[in-house]
Structure 1
Amino acid sequence: MNMKNNNLVSSYARALFHVSGSRLGIIRKEVEFLLAFFKDQDVFVYLSHPMVSLLHKKEAILSIKENLSENLVKFIMVTLANKRSRLLILILEKFLNLVRESENELEITIKSAEILKKPDIKIITESLNFLGKIIKVSHVVDPSILGGFVVRYGFNVIDASLKSYLDRLVDLSKMEMLKIRNCI
C-alpha cells in the first residue's frame, strides 16, 4: 500500500474510532461481523468493483443494515461515496487495531498441529505477560507443522514447531555435508 492510501486508511479508521464514542464496543462487534462477511463472500469484490454503480453498492450495504448501527452504515456510505470502497477492509482492520490499542489488547494467533487444550494455551499466553497487554487468542490447527506451535503477534513470530526444528536440522546437515565435501 502506498503512503497516500496508508494515510487515507488511517484517517478513515481514526474518524470511525472517534465517531464510535461510547458505542465503541458495539461498533467493534459490527466491524468484526462486516470483516467476516466481506471475507467469506464475494460482497467485497462487488463493493470494490469500479463498474458497479454507487447506488448498487449502497443497496448492498443497506441489505445488511439491520446488523449494523446507524453510525457505521453512514460511515460506510461516506466511504463508498468518496470512492474508497477498495480500502474498506483495510480501514476496518485499522479501526480494530485502534480499538485493541485503546483497550491495551494484543491479538495473537497460535498455530498447532492439533487442537490445544486450555492449560496449554494458558501457558503460552502467560509467557507473553511481559508485554503488559490483555491477550486475545485465536487458535488455528495446521497439521503441516507436525507438532509444537507457532505464535504470531504483530510482526513477531515465535516458532516452536517440530517442522521448523526439522527444517533447521536438514539445513545444518546440508552445511556439514558441504564442509565434508570441501575437505576431501
Structure 2
Amino acid sequence: MSQSIIAKRYADALFQLGKEKAKLEQFESELVTLRDVFRGNKEIISFLNHPRFSMEQKKKFVSDSFQSFSAEIVNTLKLLVERHREEIIVDMIGFYIEMMNDAKGIADADVYSVRELSEAEKQRISETFAPKVGKQSLNLTNIVDPSILGGLRLRVGNRIFDGSVSGKLRRIERKLVSANNR
C-alpha cells in the first residue's frame, strides 16, 4: 500500500476522532505546529528511524517533546513510531489540513503576479474566485513571477485561471498560427 494512502487513512482517523471529541480546531493548530517542527528538524525523523534507539526511548522522546499537545496527537505520533511510519507524519498532517479546509469550504490556491499583492487585493481575488470553484474562500499564496508580464494567473488544485498578459499573448499566437495553417 502506498505511503500516501496510509497517510490519508491516519489523517481520516484523526479527523473523525477530532469530530467526535469536538477538537478539530485544536488538532489542526497542533498539527500545523508539528508540521513546522518536522520540516525544520530533519534530525527528528533520523532519530525516530534509527535502529540503535529502542522503541521505548523513541516513545519517551515523543511524549517529552510534545507534552503540551493533546493526548490524541501524542498517541497518534507514538502509534506511527511504533509501526515504523515516521516518514508519513508530514503527509498525514497535510491530508488532515486538507480535510479541515474542505469542511470549512476553503481551498489552497497559488496566485502568480508581477509584484507582491496587498492583503486587500488577495481578499478581492479570494472573494471573486472562491465561488467559481465551489468554496467559501481561498487560502492564497502569492508567487511573484515577472515572466507573466502583467495581470494574474491563479491555480486552484488542478484548475488554472489565466488572465496574465503572457497567457493572452500565447492564446493570440495560437489563433494566428492556426489561422495561417488553414
Contact 1:104 1:133 in 2 (8 A): yes
For structure 2, the residue ranges without an aligned partner over 5 or more in a row are none
- 1:156 aligns with one of 159, 163, 167: 159
2: CA distance between counterparts of 1:78 and 1:131?
37
Unmatched runs of 5 consecutive residues or more in structure 1: none
Distance in structure 2 (CA, Å) of the matches to 1:9 and 1:100: 17
Q: Is the 8 A contact 1:108 1:135 kept in 2?
A: no
Instruction: Give the corresponding residue for 1:37.
Output: 37
User: TM-score w.r.t. structure 1 length?
Assistant: 0.75
Identity within the alignment, %: 17
> How far did residue 133 of structure 1 move?
1.9
**Alpha-carbon distance between aligned partners in 1 of 2:61 and 2:120, rounded to the nearest angstrom:** 43
Structure 1 pair 66–161 and aligned structure 2 pair: CA distance change class (3 A)? farther
User: By how many angstroms is 1:170 displaced?
Assistant: 9.8
Quote the Cα distance in structure 1 between the aligned partners of 2:61 and 2:43. Answer: 8
Aligned to 1:134: 136
Partner of 1:22: 22
**Counterparts of residues 45-84 of structure 1 (less than 5 Å):** 45-46=45-46, 49=49, 51=51, 53=53, 54-55=55-56, 57-84=58-85
Report the counterpart of residue 93 of structure 2 in structure 1. Answer: 92
Give CA-to-partner distance per residue, 1:98-136, whole Å, 9 cap, x none. 222222222223232222123422332222224342214
Question: C-alpha deviations, 1:16-41, integer Å up to 9, x for none?
Answer: 11222311101101111112222233
The amino acid across from 1:141 in the alignment is I
Contact 1:30–1:67 under 8 Å retained in 2: no
Contact 1:144 1:163 in 2 (8 A): no
In the alignment of these two chains, the number of paired residues is 176
Alpha-carbon spacing, 1:172–1:28, altered in 2? closer, same or farther (3 Å): same
Task: Compute the displacement of 1:76 (Å).
Answer: 0.7
Secondary structure of the structure 1 residue equivalent to 2:22? helix
**Letter of the structure 2 residue corresponding to residue 22 of structure 1:** A
